[in-house]
Amino acid sequence: MTDRRPDDAWSGLGTGWAIVSTLIAGMLAWGFVGWVIDKLVGTDHVFLAVGIVVGAAGGVYIVYLRYGREDRDGD
């Protein structure tokens, strides 16, 4: 593992990029699924918008699971 120093200004950069890329990937993936459904059903960007919102919510949930929870060992 790398040595993390809390006084280093760049110490959280990797975590920040991981969070941003998780959120963007969720919106892109579910937005694409919504776009495909729009093309199959014949609607005009309804499911695309729903897919982007679902992807954003899923991305926030995944970020919470990965970085937001605290381990509760005996507390």
pLDDT value of residue 6: 62
**11: in domain:** no
d(CA 71, CA 59): 21
pLDDT tier at 38 (50, 70, 90 boundaries)? very high
Residue 45 lies in a domain: yes
How many domains is the chain partitioned into structurally? 1
Percent of the chain at pLDDT above 70? 84
Which residue type occupies 8? D
d(CA 41, CA 34): 10
Residue at 2 is within a domain: no
Q: State the CB neighbour count (10 A cutoff) for residue 66.
A: 12
Phi, psi (rounded to 5 degrees) for 3: -85, 115
Would residue 70 count as lying in a domain?
no
Give me the pLDDT at residue 20, please. Answer: 95
**What is the chain's mean pLDDT, rounded?**
87
Read off the pLDDT band of 11 (50, 70, 90): confident
Range of the domain at 31: 17-65
User: Considering the domain boundaries, does residue 73 fall inside one?
Assistant: no
- Say if CB 18 and CB 59 are below 8 A apart: no
Do the domain assignments include residue 71? no
Measured distance CA(66)–CA(36) in Å, rounded: 29
